[in-house]
């Protein structure tokens, strides 16, 4: 983990001024328009609680401020600079995405990654840049957050959400219990489930004996401890390979990546659907199309970036073993025995690179709601759901990324929980997880929250309109005081 993530340079200082001026020209931030409400404790209710200040959470936060929804809090369980994977569990030198992607800027040119990079390295530096260094992306995100003045409460976790009368009630790690109108779960790729652990007869991921012997590739790992060691890695996709490389570069003797499949997946299908029509349109399609598209996408898998494979190919001690699934993993005192379909192997440690699982039942925050959340499996024929068990576990979200009750009325305000993480892809496409869809996703979510808050208060807004008095014509000869006007206006 690197500690230094914030960059300072005269160029960036200057760009900060330009960006703030651009924001001022856009009248940012506009006044808050959402009427104040009091909760059962007599205190003002929070309009939106955003959980997670990674790329998605901070972009939604800045989108809400820009929309004039300012009574919000953004909480983040990690400390400043440790948000998201970039400085914690990501182990690739550069992003997979092309450098020109936009998203966290929400359409403001001076807030793009390119502007940030050029401010430090000039136009020539930008031309020379091949892909975005991982920590640059994090530094850039933190810079955007600072310029748009989004306050983030680091070191604060959401523990539990429940219904409380007209509101939701959120329990935080600070000991606070707060009443809120909307919750946005921007809690990352595992935010709709958790690590995917394969099931083996002799292995239990909760076994304390796995410490130092069996790691998930998305955990924090002490790679220095692998010096001179032999590692087995289950998985051949990006994260598995980057973990193998990191281990070898830290002095491991051997790192072997295993797959059931006979070769690497070859085509990144999501690259081909990274255009506005798909991003905007997927969520508008009927269920049959959405199901067809994403069950195909999930089954297709995604190749590791060629940069990761080239990195691995150069390292002595690296190997792929295809068509060799693991059948069992047994932790022993001095190592791990892995039974594969072809052999019995001894490793000093193994890494499980099988990614994340979608399963809301695993989310402690949502326990009081989870039994009543509509899933895609509830909307498909039994045969289709059984044939696509993973897809069937994805939540079936409404048009504003909101959870939907299975039995209406049983869990009031479930629909005020908006799921802005990877669990939303079947319903909306990849709008809350990857950079390319972020602009469309954050904008859609912000508009939906804006609409919903307005709709809930429409009577108050109407009354305000009726009560509104504005002496526009007072400076003229034609001003008529209210008590002398004809009609009701
Ligand atoms: C290794 C890796 C490489 C990637 N590379 C690319 C790439 O090249 N291009 C691309 O488009 N996408 C990439 N992605 C996908 C995606 O862009 C990232 O996962 C990105 O971080 C998603 O942003 P996020 O805000 O949804 O999640 P995160 O950045 O993970 O942020 C979620 C935040 O929520 C916080 N949190 C979770 N639970 C709680 C809680 N209960 N209370 C408070 N805070 C909480 C977490 O601490 C975290 O900081 C990559 C993902 C990974 C894992």
pLDDT tens per residue across span 224-234: 999 999 999 99
Ligand 1 centroid distance, CA of 445 (Å): 17
Q: What is the pLDDT of residue 1?
A: 46
How many residues are recorded in the chain? 489
CA of 55 to the centre of ligand 1 (A): 7
- Structure token digits, residue 129: 């840049």
- Beta strands (DSSP E) in 5-135 are 46-51, 72-76
User: Which pLDDT score is estimated for 489?
Assistant: 65
Q: How far is the centre of ligand 1, averaged over its atoms, from the C-alpha of 47 (Å)?
A: 24
- Say what the pLDDT of residue 136 is: 96
Can you give the pLDDT at residue 7? 82
Please name the residue that has the structure tokens 């440790």.
82
Q: Which atom of ligand 1 is nearest to the CA of 90?
A: 1
pLDDT, tens digit, 9 for 90 and up, residues 20-60: 999 999 999 999 999 999 999 899 999 999 999 999 999 99
- Smallest CA-to-CA distance from 161 within 143, 136, 135, 187 is with 187
Q: Over the stretch 240-258, which tens digit does the pLDDT of each residue have?
A: 999 999 999 999 999 999 9
CA distances for 381 relative to 284, 288, 321, angstroms = 21, 11, 37
- Whether 197-266+303-354 and 10-192+358-456 are alike in CATH topology: the answer is yes
* Model confidence at 5: pLDDT above 80: no
pLDDT at res. 86: 95
Main-chain phi, psi angles of 22, to 5 degrees:
-60, -45
Test site for ligand 1: of 74, 77, 153, 357, most ligand atoms within 8 A of the Cβ: 77
Measured in Å, residue 345 CA sits from the centre of ligand 1 at 34
Distance 432 CA to ligand 1 centre (A): 9
The per-residue pLDDT for 338 is 98
Closest approach atom of ligand 1 to CA 156: 43
Contact 167, 179 (CB under 8 A): yes
Ligand 1 nearest-atom number relative to CA 132: 8
Q: Which residue has the CA at smallest separation from atom 41 of ligand 1?
A: 158
Q: Locate the ligand 1 atom nearest the alpha carbon of residue 82 and give its number.
A: 49
The minimum-distance atom of ligand 1 relative to the CA of 305 is 8
Q: Is 283 in the pocket of ligand 1 (CB under 6 A)?
A: no
Q: What angle do CA 262, 96, 54 make, to 5 degrees?
A: 120
Give the atom of ligand 1 at the shortest distance from the alpha carbon of 52: 34
Q: Report the percent of the chain where pLDDT is more than 70.
A: 99
3-state secondary structure of 254: strand
- Cis status, amide bond into 468, omega within 30 of 0: no
Q: Check whether 290 has a pLDDT greater than 60.
A: yes
pLDDT at 301: 84
Cα(74) to ligand 1 centroid in Å equals 15
Question: Ligand 1 within 6 A of 421 CB?
Answer: yes
Residue 115 phi/psi, 5-degree rounding, is -60, -45
- SS3 state of residue 114: helix
Ligand 1 centroid to 105 CA: how many Å?
17
pLDDT at 488: 59
CA of 106 to the centre of ligand 1 (A): 18
Q: What is the DSSP letter of 258?
A: E
111-162, pLDDT tens digit by residue? 999 999 999 999 999 999 999 999 999 999 999 999 999 999 999 999 999 9
Q: Which residue has the tokens 């003002």?
A: 44
User: Cα(372) to centroid of ligand 1, in Å?
Assistant: 26
Nearest CA to ligand 1 atom 48: 84
Q: Which pLDDT score, from 0 to 100, does residue 8 have? A: 83
401-458 pLDDT, tens digit per residue, is 999 999 999 999 999 999 999 999 999 999 998 999 999 999 999 999 999 999 999 9
Taking the CA of residue 421 as reference, the ligand 1 atom at the shortest distance is: 26
Secondary structure (3-state) at 388: coil
**Structural domain boundaries of the chain?**
10-192+358-456, 197-266+303-354
> Of ligand 1's atoms, which has the minimum distance to the CA of residue 157?
42
Report pLDDT digits (tens) over 338-388. Answer: 999 999 999 999 999 999 999 999 999 999 999 999 999 999 999 999 999
Rounded to whole angstroms, the Cα distance separating 278 from 286 reads: 14
What's residue 272's pLDDT? 86
The CB of 187 under 6 Å from ligand 1? The reply is yes
Closest CA to ligand 1's atom 53: 85
* The CATH number fitting domain 10-192+358-456, selected from 3.50.50.60, 3.20.20.70, 3.10.20.600, 3.40.50.300: 3.50.50.60
- C-alpha distances (whole Å) from 233 to each of 202, 240, 254 are 17, 7, 10
Q: Which is more confident, 424 or 272?
A: 424
Residue written as tokens 């059931």?
Answer: 260
* C-beta 87 within 6 A of ligand 1: no
DSSP state of 367: T
For residue 196, give Cα distances in angstroms to 189, 192, 355, 473. 11, 12, 6, 66
Residues 6+ apart with CB under 8 A from 440: 276, 279, 280, 431
Q: Is 366 helix (H, G, I), strand (E, B) or coil?
A: helix
How many other β-carbons are positioned within 10 Å of the β-carbon of residue 7?
Answer: 16
When mean pLDDT is compared across 15-19, 35-39, 467-471, the lowest value belongs to: 467-471
Mean of pLDDT over the chain: 95
Q: Which is the closest atom of ligand 1 to the Cα of 84?
A: 29
Q: Report pLDDT for 379.
A: 97
Residue of 433, 437, 440, 442 with the most ligand 1 atoms within 8 Å of its CB, for mutation: 433
Which residue puts its alpha carbon closest to atom 37 of ligand 1? 187
Ligand 1 center–CA 266 separation, angstroms: 25
CB atoms within 10 A of CB 82: 19
Position in ligand 1 atom list of the atom nearest CA 187: 34
Does the domain spanning 197-266+303-354 belong to CATH 3.50.50.60? yes
Give 163 Cα–ligand 1 centroid separation in angstroms: 27
CA-closest residue to ligand 1 atom 42: 157
- Going by pLDDT thresholds of 50, 70 and 90, the confidence category of residue 487 is confident
% pLDDT > 90, the chain: 93
**CA separation for the pair 447, 422 (Å, rounded):** 19
Give the integer Cα–Cα distance in Å for 347 and 334. 9
> Six-digit token pair at 179?
């009443």
How far does residue 434's CA lie from ligand 1's centre (Å)? 9
CA of 146 to the centre of ligand 1 (A): 19
Distance 101 CA to ligand 1 centre (A): 16
Question: Average pLDDT, stretch 209-231?
Answer: 95
Q: Tell me: cis bond preceding 376? Omega within 30 of 0 counts.
A: no
């Amino acid at each position: 983990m690197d500690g230094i993530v914030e960059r300072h340079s005269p160029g960036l200082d200057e760009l900060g001024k330009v960006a703030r001026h651009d924001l001022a020209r856009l009248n940012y931030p506009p006044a808050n328009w959402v009427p104040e409400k009091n909760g059962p404790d007599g205190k003002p209710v929070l309009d939106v609680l955003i959980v997670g200040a990674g790329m998605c959470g901070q972009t939604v936060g800045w989108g809400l401020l820009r929309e004039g929804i300012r009574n919000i809090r953004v909480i983040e369980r990690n400390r400043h600079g440790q948000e998201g994977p970039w400085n914690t569990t990501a182990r690739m030198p550069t992003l997979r995405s092309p450098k020109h992607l936009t998203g966290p800027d929400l359409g403001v040119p001076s807030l793009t990654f390119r502007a940030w990079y050029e401010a430090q390295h000039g136009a020539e530096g930008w031309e020379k840049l091949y892909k975005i260094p991982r920590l640059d992306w994090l530094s850039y995100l933190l810079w955007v957050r600072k310029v748009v003045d989004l306050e983030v409460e680091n070191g604060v976790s959401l523990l539990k959400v429940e219904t409380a009368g007209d509101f939701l009630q959120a329990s935080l790690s600070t000991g606070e219990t707060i009443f809120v109108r909307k919750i946005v779960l921007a809690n990352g790729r595992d935010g709709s489930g958790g690590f995917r652990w394969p099931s083996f007869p002799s292995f239990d991921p909760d076994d304390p004996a796995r410490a130092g012997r069996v790691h998930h590739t998305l955990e924090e790992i002490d790679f220095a401890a692998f010096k001179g060691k032999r590692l087995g890695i289950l998985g051949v996709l990006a994260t598995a390979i980057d973990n193998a490389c990191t281990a070898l570069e830290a002095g491991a003797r051997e790192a072997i990546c295993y797959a059931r499949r006979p070769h690497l997946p070859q085509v990144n299908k999501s690259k081909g659907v990274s255009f506005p029509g798909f991003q905007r349109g997927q969520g508008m399609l009927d269920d049959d199309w959405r199901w067809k598209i994403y069950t195909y996408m999930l089954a297709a898998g995604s190749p590791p970036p060629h940069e990761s494979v080239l990195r691995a190919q150069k390292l002595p001690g690296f190997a792929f073993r295809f068509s060799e699934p693991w059948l069992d993993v047994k932790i022993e005192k001095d190592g791990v025995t892995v039974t594969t379909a072809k052999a019995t192997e001894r490793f000093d440690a193994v890494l499980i690179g099988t990614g994340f699982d979608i399963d809301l039942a695993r989310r402690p925050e949502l326990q009081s709601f989870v039994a009543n959340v509509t899933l895609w499996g509830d909307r498909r024929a039994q045969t289709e759901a059984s044939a696509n068990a993973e897809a069937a576990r994805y939540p079936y979200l409404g048009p504003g990324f909101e959870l939907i009750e299975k039995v209406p009325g049983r869990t009031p305000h479930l629909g005020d929980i908006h799921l802005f993480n990877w669990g939303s892809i079947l319903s909306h496409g990849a709008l809350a997880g990857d950079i390319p869809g972020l602009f469309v996703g954050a904008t859609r979510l912000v508009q939906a929250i804006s609409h919903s808050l307005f709709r809930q208060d429409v009577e108050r807004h109407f009354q305000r309109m009726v009560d509104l008095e504005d002496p526009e014509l007072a400076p003229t000869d034609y001003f008529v005081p209210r008590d002398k006007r004809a009609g009701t206006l």
